[in-house]
Amino acid sequence: MKSDEQTSAEVVRASAPYMTLGIHMAAAVTLFLFAGKYADEYFGTKPWLMIAGIVAGFAGGMIKFFRTVTQLSAQEDEERRKQ
C-alpha cells in the first residue's frame, strides 16, 4: 500500500501541467498587450494595436490551452488502457 506522501506527490505531479495553463494564458495576453502598446506608441494608433494585441494573446493562449489539454487527456487515456 502506498503512503500518503507518495499519493500526494503523484497527484501534484500529475496535475502540474494543468496548473501551469493559467500562467501560460496570462503570460500570452500580457506579452501581446505590451507589444501592442509599444506598437501604438510607435505608429500613433492608440489604442487599436493594444486591443489587437490583447485579442491575439487571448487567441494564442486559448489555442495553447486546448492543445495542451487534448494532449494530456490523450496521454492519460493511453495510460489507463495500459493498466
Q: Give the residues of the chain that fall short of pLDDT 70.
A: 1-2, 6
Closest CA to 56 of 81, 22, 30, 20: 30
Q: Write out the three cell numbers for 46.
A: 492608440
- Whole-number Å distance between alpha carbons of 83 and 81: 5
Question: Which residue in this structure is represented by grid cell 505590451?
Answer: 34
Q: What is the pTM of this model?
A: 0.81
Q: According to the model, what pLDDT value does residue 2 have?
A: 63
- Whole-number Å distance between alpha carbons of 69 and 75: 10
